[in-house]
Amino acid sequence: MSMKNYEFWFVVGSQFLYGTEVLNTVAQRASEMADKLNQSGNLPCKLVYKATVKTHEEITKLMKEANYNDKCAGVVSWCHTFSPSKMWINGFDLLQKPYCHLATQYNREIPNDEIDMDFMNLNQAAHGDREHGFITARLRMRRKIIAGYWQDEETQKRLGSWMRAAYGAVFSKKVKVMRFGDNMREVAVTEGDKVEVQAKLGWQVNTWPVGELVKVMDEVTSSEIDALMAVYRTKYTFATDDLETVRYQARAEIAMRKMLDAEGCQAFSNTFQDLYGMKQLPGLATQNMMADGYGYGGEGDWKVSAMVAIMKAMSEGLNGGTSFMEDYTYHLAQGNEYSLGAHMLEVCPSLAADKPRIEVHHLGIGDREPPARLVFEGHEGPAIVVSLVDMGGRLRLICQDIECVKPIMDMPKLPVARVMWKPMPDMTTAIEAWITAGGAHHTVLSYDITAEQMKDWARLMDIEFVHINKDTTIDTLEHDLFLSDLAWKLK
Ligand code: MN
């Protein structure tokens, strides 16, 4: 399912009016543009020039092929010349893949000495793209519009960034979540409509008994555990002599991987309230699996687990880090306010500033033996936190911009991984905005994925998107939420 195996189709609109020579030139240039865009290194997936389309039949056929081609993650269109848009209606109406309108132009500048009417007829994206844009607006298509010169790095990076969001949409349709036990008793925000998420997002969310996991754990051999311990030794610093406890985590990890892989699951959840037959809550085991791209949600939070898997998939090849996260406690010193994010164990080591340490400590929750876990500090840098909530009848994705810092204290008695950040726009407005929108305590924190990508992803999935950023005020947020509540009821 690697992102690299997917491609996007570059489709260029035209018509027969201009004659064969112009059409050949358009096709040649479109092919050259796809080649250069691929060579730029700014696109995570290959852009494949498919055709210069001139008729209703051609366009309809191509869009149908895009739908059924498993390698095709989306369509990028552009109009070098003028392409009357009524011929696109049926094709666009049928298109089920992510769609981007790249509004660009082959030449960067107007050639003062050479420009004549032949040049004008060949290079008319300025109005070709307007005709093209009207029909997608008229059809209320979910679309991404990127305007800019195609050889500019900024334009290429925006297209690449959208490709990651589009891949996230394709990935989402294949997500399977393995739930070990139900979600934590009485908790509201980790509930949700599993039928709705499958219809809307494609997720298959199902449960497996913890007893079955314990059975698979019992069958794990000591040589399998030896091999995983060797991996732990290369990746982490052992800050404990209690190797039996660490080996128990390895046993749990091997068993969970076996069960997830056998079912084709990319994400899982468990809860400290249902560890029947287990000696430790999986800590290190879960953390090391997240580092390899598996999604995870604590306390049975399958929504955040699937979102971790999706955002990790979208960030393939990047190295900033993406993890399950929880807003734990605040530092409210005036003018120096921070949120401290952590979990009882399970934060992904992809966030770590330095090599994580394996430690064993007592865990007051869950009534089990002290579990091994990775302890580290998150690194500094801009990031986002994302929460998907079920509003009853619809899903809302909330995204907040944050600025992570090196934790301002070393907190020597805190036995878990920790990340510290300033939420936007400022601490109190940020908290009020998050609570106003109904955001959960569990989030996905990512240094690699941007708010624009999550907005693109939400649009592709046809769910509500709320962005809390440096410009957010409570008045405008409340107004937006009020209007969007009405709009989503009508949808
Ligand atoms: Mn939690």
Specify the pLDDT at position 60: 98
- Per the prediction, the chain carries an average pLDDT of 97
Distance between CA atoms of 7 and 167, rounded to whole angstroms? Answer: 9
Q: Rounded to the nearest whole angstrom, what is the distance from the C-alpha of residue 377 to the centroid of ligand 1?
A: 18
Distance between CA atoms of 193 and 362, rounded to whole angstroms? Answer: 35
Specify the pLDDT at position 1: 78
Specify the pLDDT at position 115: 97
Specify the pLDDT at position 455: 98
Residue 45 backbone dihedrals phi, psi, to 5 degrees: -125, 160
Specify the pLDDT at position 366: 87
- Does residue 187 register a pLDDT over 90? yes
Q: Rounded to the nearest whole angstrom, what is the distance from the C-alpha of residue 181 to the centroid of ligand 1?
A: 15
Is residue 19 within 8 A of residue 118, CB to CB? The reply is: no
Tokens 């959208």 found at: 162
The torsion of the CA quartet 194, 198, 199, 200, rounded to 10 degrees, works out to: 100
Q: Rounded to the nearest whole angstrom, what is the distance from the C-alpha of residue 299 to the centroid of ligand 1?
A: 6
- Does residue 216 register a pLDDT over 90? yes
Q: Which two tokens stand for residue 63?
A: 């869009």
Indicate the SS3 state at residue 444: strand
Name which of 464, 460, 461 is nearest 397 in CA terms: 464
Helix (H) or strand (E) holding 94: helix 89-94
Q: Rounded to the nearest whole angstrom, what is the distance from the C-alpha of residue 334 to the centroid of ligand 1?
A: 27
Query: pLDDT per residue over 435-458, tens digit each?
Result: 999 999 999 999 999 999 999 999
Q: What's the mean pLDDT in 250-263?
A: 98
**What's this model's pTM, rounded to 2 decimal places?**
0.98
Tokens 């309108």 found at: 101
Distance between CA atoms of 344 and 363, rounded to whole angstroms? Answer: 8
Distance between CA atoms of 404 and 422, rounded to whole angstroms? Answer: 6
Domain 3-172 CATH assignment equals 3.10.20.30: no
Q: Rounded to the nearest whole angstrom, what is the distance from the C-alpha of residue 344 to the centroid of ligand 1?
A: 7
Query: pLDDT per residue over 353-409, tens digit each?
Result: 999 999 999 999 989 999 999 999 999 999 999 999 999 999 999 999 999 999 999
Q: Rounded to the nearest whole angstrom, what is the distance from the C-alpha of residue 111 to the centroid of ligand 1?
A: 61
Query: pLDDT per residue over 34-58, tens digit each?
Result: 999 999 999 999 999 999 999 999 9
Tokens 């907040």 found at: 400
Distance between CA atoms of 40 and 153, rounded to whole angstroms? Answer: 8
Indicate the SS3 state at residue 339: strand
Is residue 295 within 8 A of residue 343, CB to CB? The reply is: no
Q: How many CA atoms lie within 13 A of 39 on its CB side?
A: 7
- Does residue 307 register a pLDDT over 90? yes
Q: Which two tokens stand for residue 486?
A: 């009405």
Q: Rounded to the nearest whole angstrom, what is the distance from the C-alpha of residue 307 to the centroid of ligand 1?
A: 15
Write out the residue limits of the CATH 3.40.50.10940 domain(s) in the chain: 3-172
DSSP annotation of 293 reads T
Q: Rounded to the nearest whole angstrom, what is the distance from the C-alpha of residue 286 to the centroid of ligand 1?
A: 14
Distance between CA atoms of 203 and 307, rounded to whole angstroms? Answer: 10
Q: Is 120 exposed, middle or buried (0-12, 13-18, 19+ CB in 10 A)?
A: exposed
Query: pLDDT per residue over 129-183, tens digit each?
Result: 999 999 999 999 999 999 999 999 999 999 999 999 999 999 999 999 999 999 9
Q: Rounded to the nearest whole angstrom, what is the distance from the C-alpha of residue 298 to the centroid of ligand 1?
A: 5
Q: Rounded to the nearest whole angstrom, what is the distance from the C-alpha of residue 22 to the centroid of ligand 1?
A: 61
Is residue 145 within 8 A of residue 233, CB to CB? The reply is: no
Q: How many CA atoms lie within 13 A of 359 on its CB side?
A: 16
Q: Rounded to the nearest whole angstrom, what is the distance from the C-alpha of residue 342 to the centroid of ligand 1?
A: 9
Q: Which two tokens stand for residue 341?
A: 């994010």
Distance between CA atoms of 146 and 247, rounded to whole angstroms? Answer: 51
Residue 465 backbone dihedrals phi, psi, to 5 degrees: -125, 130
